[in-house]
Chains A and B, each alone.
Chain A
Amino acid sequence: MKALLIKDMYTIVKMLKLYLGLIIILAAIPGFSSTGFAVIYAGLLPISVLSYDERLKWDKLAAMMPFSDRDIVVSKYVLGYILLAASAAVSYIGSLAAAAFMRETVSAELFSQLIQICAIGIILMSVNMPLMFKMGVEKARLLFIISVGFVIAAVSFSQRVYESAEVSNVEIGSISLPLFFAAVAVSLVSMVISVSIYKRKEH
C-alpha cells in the first residue's frame, strides 16, 4: 500500500498542484467557511487521482503488480484520510498563527469544528468512492456534484437551525465525536462495498 500512496502523492504534487496550493491557502485562512472548503476538498482529492488513474488505464498495470484489490481500493481511502488530517492540521496551525498575530486567544470550539468538518469530509468521500469504483469517475460525476451540493445544503441548514434555536457552542461541540465516529463507521462500510465492487471488475 505504501507504493500506491507514493504514486498518488507524486500525482497530486505534480498534476494537481494548483488545487493543492488552493487547499493550503484556504486551510491557512482562519474561518469556518474557508477551512470547511479546504478540508472537504482535500478529502475529495483521491477522486481526482482516481480520475487520472482511469484516464491512464492504470488499473491494467496495477492488476499485473503485487497489489491486492483490497490494497488498491483502501489506499485511496487512506490517501483521503491523510489529506483530510493534513489540511485540518494546516487550518489549526493557521488559526493559531492568526490568533497570535492578532494577540487574541484561539476560539475554544475550533478543534471541535475541525473534527466536524473532517467527519463531513470523510462522509462525502465515503459516499462517493463506491460510486466512482462502480461507474467510473466520468459517469459518476453528476452524482458527485449532487452529493457535494446536498452536503453543503445540509451543513447550511443545520447552522441556521442551531442559530435559530440558540444552541450553545458547548452543545454543538458535543456532537463532534459522535459525528466523527459515525463518519468512521460510514467509511468502513463504504470501504467494504468498494473492495467488493473492485474485486468483481476485470482489468
Chain B
Amino acid sequence: MNAIEIKDLSKSYGDFALKNINLTLPSGCIMGLVGENGAGKSTTIKLIMNAVRRDAGSISVLGMDNESAEFCELKNDIGVVLDEAYLPEALNARNINHFMKAAYKRWDEQQFFEYIKRFMLPEKKPVRDYSRGMKMKLAIASALSHQPKLLILDEATSGLDPIVRDEILDILNEFTRDESHSILMSSHIISDLEKCCDYIAFIHRGELIFCEEKDRLLEEYGTIRVSKERFAEIPGDAVLGKKVTPYGVEALVDKSRLSEAFVVEHTALEDIILFLAKGENK
C-alpha cells in the first residue's frame, strides 16, 4: 500500500496555482519535498491533510480518500509538524500531555515523556517561554507519541541547530525501520534530505519538476565543467541546466546521454535542484 497517492492535483489561489501534481509515497519510505519559498510545498501538505480544498485531482492517504468522512478519524495515524509549533502556549509539557491524551486514541504518555527527557525540555515551563527550537522539539515529540503510521513534517527542522537536526534525523530513521511507517518532509536544508530520504520530489512554481528515487537521481545526473567551444559539442538533450561563466560552462547533464569523452563529476542533490530551479537552463 502507498502511504500517499496524489493524482492530477490542482489548487489555485489567484496569484498562485499548484498544477497537476502527481506524487506517490510508498509505505516504509521517506520522501523529501523540495522547492523555493512559495513553490507550493506547504499548500501540498495542507491539501494532503484536507485543511484546504482542492480544485481538482485526488488524494489518498494510507489508502483512504482524504475527503471522505472517515478521514478525520484516520488523522490518529498521522503525525504532523508544521513550520511553527502552533501549540497552545499557555500550557506546559505536562498540560500538553493531558490534552494530547484526550485528543489521540493511541497517545503513549510514556513515550512522550521519554522524548521530553531526550530533548531536555522542561516539563513545568509554559510553552511561550520555550525557544523556537524547544517548541519545535515539543511539536516533534507530540507528533511521534501517538503511534502514527505516517509522519508529515513541513519545514519542521528549520531553525534547529545541526546537532538537534541530526538527532531528529536519527529518530526519523528509527521511525521508518517499521515497514508500515512512512515520512513526507519538506525542508530547505537539502543536506538533511540527502541524508535520510529515499525519494525526492521537487516542486518549482507550483509544478512538480520530478519525483524520483534519490539514489537514481544521484546516479543519473552529473556535472561537467568545460569551455564554451567544448560545450557546443554536447547534445542538447543531455543538458538539464547550465551556468555560463567567463571561464566556461558548468552544466548539469544526464550521464546516459553523454559520450564517455566527457569527464562527468558526481553531483550533490543541492546542485541538481539549483540547476533545475534557476532559469538559465539548456
Contact = CB atoms under 8 A, between A and B. Distances in A.
A56 interface: yes
B86 A11 contact: no
A64 B99 contact: no
Contacts of A14: 90-91, 126
Contacts, number: 77
Contact of B99 (A3, A52, A68): A3
Contacts of A10: 88, 90-91, 95, 98-99
A56 B127 CA distance: 12
B126 A3 contact: no
B102 A6 contact: yes
A63 B90 contact: no
A203 B98 CA distance: 25
A56 B86 contact: yes
Contacts of A57: 84, 86
A3 B102 contact: yes
A6 B91 CA distance: 10
A66 B80 contact: no
B79 to A, nearest CB: 9
A66 B104 contact: yes
B46 A61 contact: no
Contacts of B89: 56
Contacts of A52: 90
B72 A66 contact: yes
A34 B87 CA distance: 35
B72 A58 contact: no
B52 interface: yes
Contacts of B101: 3
A74 to B, nearest CB: 14
Contact of B88 (A2, A7, A67, A68): A7
- Looking at A2, A6, A203, the one whose CB has the most chain B CB atoms below 10 A away is A6
A75 B32 CA distance: 36
A10 B103 CA distance: 15
Interface in B223-256: none
Given A7-B88, A7-B91, A10-B91, A60 B51 contact: yes
Interface in A142-198: none
A6 B82 contact: no
B270 to A, nearest CB: 29
Interface string B72-88: 11111010101011111
Contacts of A108: none
Contacts of A4: 103
B125 to A, nearest CB: 12
B54 to A, nearest CB: 11
Contacts of A11: 88, 90-91
Nearest to B13: A202
Contacts of B104: 65-66
Contact of A3 (B75, B80, B100): B100
Nearest to B81: A64
A63 B74 CA distance: 13
B177 interface: no
18 contacts: A2-B102, A3-B101, A3-B102, A3-B103, A14-B126, A15-B90, A56-B88, A60-B51, A60-B84, A61-B82, A61-B87, A64-B51, A64-B75, A66-B72, A66-B73, A66-B74, A66-B105, A203-B52
Given A10-B95, A202-B51, 11 more contacts: A15-B90, A52-B90, A56-B88, A60-B82, A61-B85, A63-B46, A64-B75, A65-B80, A66-B72, A66-B76, A66-B104
